[in-house]
């Protein structure tokens, strides 16, 4: 079946003409953290060095998270050893730093869920007696919108932005073992392997994220917040040797129009620009692949001369029935549509598996283009991240004058090799030779996976499955993954749906 879209949609050139960044700022240091085991250790180290303010913004937040090494909640704190559990740790920190304040902003949806989190309720009660700990639920958004940013800013000098929420069932190591005794939730229940990413920045880039965070706090009616004063010492974790030094970082956002705040679609424009400029390859990781705009940009680039190789790492299936129905169905529909423009099969989607054959859930949001552009943030390749949900992405572009250096490109390439190695169960040092031997990322992945389960940790090609009529209807009408708030209330008969823009499915003449 060939689906046709209306010709009333916005063209690729019009989308590309939008601003792709809110701000550019220099980072004295920047570093990619892969998987949450390292992240939770580093965040405790950074917060221990905080002097003025810790601002945490998240889609979800759980005080039962265990920080630091060992993941032993029963460790008794001392002057030298802070408590591991986040709720206790914040109180312990405030008691020892009389000039420090901690602000936490969480999306308001699911607030009643706190009642099911036991100790978290007690933590919030204890926090309420500390005037320098402020916890707020954010409802300053249109109905149906999600605040999806995952940002931590410390002293406006160090910041984190990426895909990792400070919540439970995120912790895992890069080994992604089938059975890991430390990979357990607050009640001691094990959960499956989880892959995620975030980016640490220091200096002016961190200060810019501080501006972004304070603006959101104020918009949520949390009151005006002054910038932190300049300080000599940095909260940068001493255990981290930065991959990037003195690089320019771009910040792109998504924000729905609401209560006088303008609509912002920088992330959508950045996706279009990144895909259009690709000459050799795109390596991406995303929780979903359901965005009409991203799919159109990919189809358009694959239709041009000398198209790049595109490798996308996805989870086998989305979490939860609703997400599976919306996102999985849309992924299949869009991949079939792209295939019509991709006779050489240059776009491939792969799913990571453990050595024992369990699918690894991919929560990361990353794109690497030609080893020149690195972007990490909260935005998925789905419609909501393009115009409805509040998102923030960071990117380093080696083609910009401030970053036009060999070491920047080498650091981006090293990260791509590291991620391929992690998913394929090989050493990072093997990747360059294997790519040269096989000629492409996809060919290397296929060769390594030939032995099936005996190959160990691996990537397997995603196979398009048949969709039920219900899944097709939900996917085609974008019922659960709209781009704009007004689509939530548009009648199904008037929806333009999954294939609503011109170009993607029109056969070339």
Contact 204, 26 (CB under 8 A): yes
Task: Give the end of a domain, one of 246, 278, 309.
Answer: 246
The radius of gyration computed from the CA coordinates of the chain, to the nearest angstrom, equals 22
pTM exceeds 0.85, yes or no: yes
Has residue 318 got a pLDDT over 90?
A: no
Asked if residue 277 and residue 174 are part of one domain, the reply reads: no
Backbone φ and ψ for 422, nearest 5 degrees, come out as -60, -45
When pLDDT is averaged across residues 466-473 and rounded to a whole number, the result is 68
Degrees, nearest 5: CA angle 171-173-175: 145
Task: Give the end of a domain, one of 190, 217, 246.
Answer: 246
CA dihedral of 384, 387, 388, 393, whole degrees rounded to 10:
80
Q: Higher confidence at residue 66 or residue 451?
A: 66
Q: Is residue 421 part of a domain?
A: yes
Asked if residue 145 and residue 118 are part of one domain, the reply reads: yes
pLDDT of residue 492: 40
Q: Higher confidence at residue 493 or residue 15?
A: 15
Q: Is residue 435 part of a domain?
A: yes
Asked if residue 410 and residue 341 are part of one domain, the reply reads: yes
Q: Higher confidence at residue 146 or residue 321?
A: 146
Contact 477, 492 (CB under 8 A): yes
Asked if residue 193 and residue 90 are part of one domain, the reply reads: yes
Residue 6 banded pLDDT, cuts 50, 70, 90 = very low
Asked if residue 315 and residue 219 are part of one domain, the reply reads: no
Query: Across the strands, what pairs with 137?
Result: 106
Contact 258, 486 (CB under 8 A): no
Residue 431 banded pLDDT, cuts 50, 70, 90 = very high
Supply the range of the domain harboring residue 310. Answer: 12-19+265-494
Asked if residue 216 and residue 275 are part of one domain, the reply reads: no
pLDDT of residue 478: 55
Has residue 496 got a pLDDT over 70?
A: no
Q: Is residue 329 part of a domain?
A: yes
Asked if residue 324 and residue 399 are part of one domain, the reply reads: yes
For the chain, give the mean pLDDT.
Answer: 88
Q: Is 306 left (phi over 0), alpha (psi -120 to 50) or beta?
A: left
Has residue 497 got a pLDDT over 90?
A: no
Backbone φ and ψ for 53, nearest 5 degrees, come out as -150, 140
Has residue 164 got a pLDDT over 80?
A: yes
Q: Is residue 218 part of a domain?
A: yes
Q: Is residue 344 part of a domain?
A: yes
pLDDT of residue 235: 98
pLDDT of residue 19: 82
When pLDDT is averaged across residues 250-274 and rounded to a whole number, the result is 95
Q: Is residue 144 part of a domain?
A: yes
Into how many domains does the chain fold?
2
Asked if residue 163 and residue 51 are part of one domain, the reply reads: yes
C-alpha 190/C-alpha 198 separation (Å) is: 23
C-alpha 509/C-alpha 429 separation (Å) is: 45
Two tokens, residue 322: 């609703």
Asked if residue 272 and residue 419 are part of one domain, the reply reads: yes
Residue 139 banded pLDDT, cuts 50, 70, 90 = confident
Asked if residue 443 and residue 321 are part of one domain, the reply reads: yes
Task: Give the end of a domain, one of 198, 213, 246.
Answer: 246
Has residue 495 got a pLDDT over 50?
A: no
pLDDT of residue 485: 63
pLDDT of residue 296: 95
pLDDT tens digits, 227-244: 999 999 999 999 999 999
Domain CATH number, residue 393: 3.30.870.10
Q: Is residue 378 part of a domain?
A: yes
101 by DSSP, 3-state: which? strand
- Looking at the chain, the whole-number percentage of residues with pLDDT higher than 90 is 71
pLDDT of residue 402: 97
Asked if residue 130 and residue 278 are part of one domain, the reply reads: no
Asked if residue 433 and residue 399 are part of one domain, the reply reads: yes
Q: Is residue 275 part of a domain?
A: yes
CA 373 vs. chain centroid, Å, equals 16
């Amino acid at each position: 079946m060939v689906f046709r879209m209306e010709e009333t949609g916005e063209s690729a050139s019009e989308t590309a003409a939008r601003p792709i960044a809110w701000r550019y700022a220099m980072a004295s240091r920047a570093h990619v953290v892969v998987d949450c085991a390292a992240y939770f250790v580093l965040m405790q180290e950074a917060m221990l060095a905080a002097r003025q303010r810790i601002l945490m913004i998240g889609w979800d937040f759980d005080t039962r998270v265990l920080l630091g090494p060992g993941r032993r909640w029963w460790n008794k704190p001392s002057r030298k050893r802070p408590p591991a559990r986040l709720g206790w740790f914040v109180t312990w920190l405030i008691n020892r730093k009389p000039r420090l304040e901690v602000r936490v902003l969480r999306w308001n949806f699911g607030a009643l869920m706190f009642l099911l989190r036991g100790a978290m309720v007690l933590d919030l009660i204890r926090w309420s007696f500390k005037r320098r700990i402020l916890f707020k639920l954010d409802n300053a958004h249109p109905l149906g919108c999600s605040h999806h940013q995952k940002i931590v800013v410390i002293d406006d000098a160090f910041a984190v932005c990426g895909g990792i929420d400070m919540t439970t069932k995120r912790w895992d190591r890069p080994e992604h073992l089938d059975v890991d005794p430390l990979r357990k939730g607050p009640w001691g229940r094990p959960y499956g392997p989880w892959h995620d990413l975030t980016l640490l920045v220091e200096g002016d880039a961190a200060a810019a994220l501080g501006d972004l965070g304070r603006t959101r706090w104020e918009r949520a009616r949390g009151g005006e917040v002054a910038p932190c004063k300049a300080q000599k010492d940095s909260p940068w974790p001493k255990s981290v040797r930065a991959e990037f030094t003195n690089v320019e970082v771009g910040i792109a956002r998504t924000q729905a129009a609401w209560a006088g705040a303008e609509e912002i679609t920088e992330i959508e424009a950045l996706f279009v620009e990144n895909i259009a400029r690709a000459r050799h390859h795109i390596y991406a990781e995303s929780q979903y692949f359901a965005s009409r705009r991203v799919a159109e940009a990919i189809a358009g680039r694959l239709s041009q001369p000398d198209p790049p190789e595109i490798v996308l790492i996805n989870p086998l299936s989305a979490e939860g029935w609703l997400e599976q129905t919306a996102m999985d169905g849309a992924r299949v529909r869009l991949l079939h549509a792209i295939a019509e423009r991709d006779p050489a099969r240059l776009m491939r989607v792969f799913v990571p598996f453990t050595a024992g054959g369990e699918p690894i859930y991919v929560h990361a949001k990353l794109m690497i283009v030609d080893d020149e552009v690195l972007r990490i943030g909260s935005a998925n390749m789905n419609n909501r991240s393009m115009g409805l949900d509040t998102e923030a992405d960071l990117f380093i572009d080696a083609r910009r004058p401030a970053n036009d250096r060999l070491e920047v490109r080498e650091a981006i390439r090293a990260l791509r090799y590291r991620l391929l190695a992690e998913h394929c169960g090989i050493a990072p040092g093997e990747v360059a030779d294997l790519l040269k031997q096989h000629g492409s990322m996809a060919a290397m992945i296929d060769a390594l996976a030939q032995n099936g389960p005996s190959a160990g940790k691996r990537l397997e090609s995603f196979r398009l499955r048949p969709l039920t009529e219900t899944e097709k209807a939900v996917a085609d009408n974008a019922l659960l993954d709209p781009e704009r708030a007004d689509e939530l209330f548009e009648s199904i008969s008037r929806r333009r749906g999954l294939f609503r823009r011109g170009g993607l499915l029109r056969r070339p003449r």
